[in-house]
Structure 1
Amino acid sequence: MSMGEQWTSDGVCDGGDLDCGSGLLLIIKKAMEPIPSGGVLEVHSREPSVVVDLPAWCRMVGHDFLGVQTRTADRAFFIRKKAEIAELQSELEAARGYKWSVRIRGKEGLLAQAYARNHSFLVGQPTDFGATVDAPSGVDFLLAALGSDLVVGLKATASRSQVLLDEIECTLRASLGNVLYAIGLEEQGSPAIEEITGVLYVASSAEEQEVRNLFVQTVARSPMYQTLQRTCRLNVRLEITF
């Protein structure tokens, strides 16, 4: 049980840097489940948009938003549980069954326009390796997907563990089995990615082992890393600076 400025909470959950559209609401709903009707949940968050979005969500579902307490590193939001809470299990099952989808449309030249939810972006040739290109290649996007998975994933994992990371940067390199076969200059070989290597640089004042444990958790929960390590040699090492 925790005491706020005006409210006594029956449970506490930490959303870190997550916003209401990227998992925070599921964390809140799961933490809310064991709290009795009329009980108070204390939600810790560092994400600025939660100040607006969380009260709006409470109004929509019927919980009472009691208020917010600004603290040194984050904010504490206090929510009183309504008499009956929506069935959490059905929402968890819906999350488990979610399927990602994109649409890709051909453009002039060797370009395609990809559409993913409320975003769109140009994609170039599958294996273009020129120094200057009209749009990143498919291999570029694959590496970017892996790198961003690790960078953003580590930030989220550290946030949930209340570990401060000052800077994060990832560099990745990939090699194909036979790039000449991929672009049609040879008749034999494999166009598959054979190896991906890289370094994840982290600047933090936290204990080194603590950061390494967060990295292990991040890799274990990374969809891109866990998928790619089954298909190619994958080696991304962690380098920590203080």
Structure 2
Amino acid sequence: MSDTGSLSAAELQAIAPDVVFDGGDLDCGSGLVLMIRENMLKAPVGGVLEMQSSEPTVADDLPPWCRLAGHKYLGQLPGQNRVRYFVRRGEQQQAQSGGAQAEESALADDKARAKAYVWRLRTRSTGHQQATVYCRNFSWMLGQSASFEEKDAHPSAVEALLGALGGSLATAYATEAARAGLEVDDIELTVTGRLHNVLAHMGLEDGDPSFAEIEVKCYASTMDDEAAARKAFETVVARSPIAATLAKAASLNVKFSVV
């Protein structure tokens, strides 16, 4: 969806952007705005930033953000597996806000707020061997501490932690692959974990209840360069707060294969 006053497709095609960057599949609420601000500072006042994105919600969220930030949304063009968005760095915003230093200060403030952000959850015991976790507009249930059955009503906390590790790497890898221009058709991860002493976890004997080892295997379906696909996954693992934290506490073995 384009803003009123956007340029025509022919006019957009004629633009030679000053800065181009790929936002992958990030939306405006998951760090994309920080990336836009950072790259906008690289463009001269009155210059044009081209941001490429495969996230559909950007089409609705970017124009109003440009108005609030004092930049001019110029429009969009279809690209290869993504949309090309064009934004002119605002001269009015530059004059009113005190120049480049003010923009740099605004970016620094955004980064400081991001670094200081605290995730908040609350959990209640909501039944026999059952707890409910509440976070923002979400809630999910966890079951008993440990189970050796094939089926249960809810996952255990241990399974939820391992699932969070696998889920965070899967979604982050999809984003990183998109930003790297890699066409990955399918991503699947298996995660296994073993405790030093599960009986200590269950209160049946003394011992160390912590994880002894965790293994992650990522399988990516792609026809692109395997080395590039592997490097993108290694980047994601290095950036993952969950992987980095678990690696300090247990043996974390990560493997990657192209299928």
Same fold by TM (over 0.5)? yes
Secondary structure at 1:72's aligned position in 2?
A: coil
Instruction: Provide the rounded CA distance (Å) in 2 between the counterparts of 1:29 and 1:129.
Output: 50
AA matched with 1:136: P
1:74 aligns with 2:82: yes
1:108 aligns with 2:127: yes
Structure 1 consecutive aligned stretches of length 4 or more whose deviation exceeds 4 Å: none
Residue 35 of structure 1: which of 43, 52, 61 is its match?
Answer: 43
1:1-242 matches, cutoff 5 A? 4-83=12-91, 84=93, 86=103, 87-184=106-203, 186-241=204-259
Instruction: Provide the rounded CA distance (Å) in 2 between the counterparts of 1:162 and 1:212.
Output: 13
1:46 Cα deviation after fit: 0.9
Instruction: Provide the rounded CA distance (Å) in 1 between the counterparts of 2:138 and 2:170.
Output: 20
CA-to-partner distance for each residue in 1:78-99, whole Å, 9 max, x for gaps? 1112233642111111111212
1:60 Cα deviation after fit: 2.6
Instruction: Provide the rounded CA distance (Å) in 2 between the counterparts of 1:126 and 1:56.
Output: 47
AA matched with 1:213: K
Kept in 1: contact 2:125–2:132 (CA 8 A):
yes
In structure 2, the gaps of 5 or more residues are 1-10, 95-102
Secondary structure at 1:73's aligned position in 2?
A: coil
1:188 Cα deviation after fit: 1.6
Identity of aligned residues (%): 38
Secondary structure at 2:207's aligned position in 1?
A: coil
CA-to-partner distance for each residue in 1:20-77, whole Å, 9 max, x for gaps? 1111111100000132222211111111111111112112322211110112321111
Kept in 1: contact 2:66–2:72 (CA 8 A):
yes
Alignment RMSD, CA only?
A: 1.6
AA matched with 1:96: K
What's the TM-score, normalizing by structure 1? Answer: 0.93
Instruction: Provide the rounded CA distance (Å) in 2 between the counterparts of 1:196 and 1:135.
Output: 21
Instruction: Provide the rounded CA distance (Å) in 2 between the counterparts of 1:72 and 1:193.
Output: 44
In structure 1, the gaps of 5 or more residues are none
AA matched with 1:196: I
Secondary structure at 1:230's aligned position in 2?
A: helix
Instruction: Provide the rounded CA distance (Å) in 2 between the counterparts of 1:41 and 1:159.
Output: 19
Kept in 1: contact 2:54–2:81 (CA 8 A):
yes
Kept in 2: contact 1:172–1:198 (CA 8 A):
yes
1:237 Cα deviation after fit: 0.8
Structure 1 or 2: more helix by fraction = 2
Instruction: Provide the rounded CA distance (Å) in 2 between the counterparts of 1:52 and 1:129.
Output: 47
1:6 Cα deviation after fit: 4.3
Instruction: Provide the rounded CA distance (Å) in 1 between the counterparts of 2:14 and 2:139.
Output: 46
Instruction: Provide the rounded CA distance (Å) in 1 between the counterparts of 2:205 and 2:50.
Output: 63
Instruction: Provide the rounded CA distance (Å) in 1 between the counterparts of 2:62 and 2:70.
Output: 12
User: Bigger CA drift: 42-51 or 59-68?
Assistant: 59-68
AA matched with 2:44: P
